[in-house]
Amino acid sequence: MNRLKSLWTASPGKVLAVLVGLMVATAVAIGSGANFNSTSANPSNVFTAGTISHSNSKANAAILTASNMVPGNTATGTVDIKNTGSASGTFTLAHTVAVDTPSSPGLSKKLTIVVQDLGEPACVSSCPAAVTLYTGIMSAMPATVALGVFPAGYTHRYQFTVTFPDSGLNGADNAYQGASTNVEYDWSSTN
């Protein structure tokens, strides 16, 4: 203790400088504890909305027309529906109520219709078989038919086949002579 007293008396500034130095060294040693550190970032996360749209190869035109049908006749037409949007879409086919002239007995209640999904028209090998979506009397077709989900850029070809069934001999279908029916088919896509 005498030494510290002699040092303090001889040079109090040096003793204080040494004590301050020891305190700083102790603080640095305590505050700089050994730890590991790692960071990473994911900048520029961008989000955009997709689009839903489709094209119709016969937009604003009939898929098929058949003039002067007689019992036993069949008419066929096709239309291509393509998902032109950037997102997958759920597609449906709807139709208006057929307008029959004359309204009774109603040609739409006599004609049969078959609607088939023929798949991707560009397919040339190992193509899936056609899928029948509806077959029956034209006027009894459901108001909406589910077509499924189309990926972006995918096309489906649909075939409509209308038949005037033959009820037999002796003028069984005479009530339909000169009759007509008119129906609109509407395609929708949603997500």
The b/e string for 64-78 (b: 16+ C-beta within 10 A; e otherwise) is eeeeebeeeeeeeeb
pLDDT (0 to 100) of residue 12: 66
Instruction: Enumerate the domain spans of the chain.
Output: 2-30, 54-168+179-190
pLDDT (0 to 100) of residue 148: 95
Query: What residues have CB less than 8 Å from 85, skipping those under 6 apart?
Result: 50, 51, 52, 53, 54, 152, 189
* Residue from 125, 122, 133, 126 nearest 158 by CA: 133
Question: Any idea which residue has 């500034």 for tokens?
Answer: 13
Can you tell me the distance from the alpha carbon of 168 to that of 171, in angstroms, rounded to the nearest whole number?
8
pLDDT (0 to 100) of residue 36: 86
Write out residues in the chain with pLDDT < 70, as ranges. 1-34
pLDDT (0 to 100) of residue 180: 96
pTM over 0.85: no
Can you tell me the distance from the alpha carbon of 140 to that of 109, in angstroms, rounded to the nearest whole number?
8
Architecture of the domain spanning 54-168+179-190? Sandwich (2.60)
Q: pLDDT digit string (tens) for 22-77?
A: 665 555 555 556 688 899 999 999 999 999 999 999 999 999 999 999 999 999 99
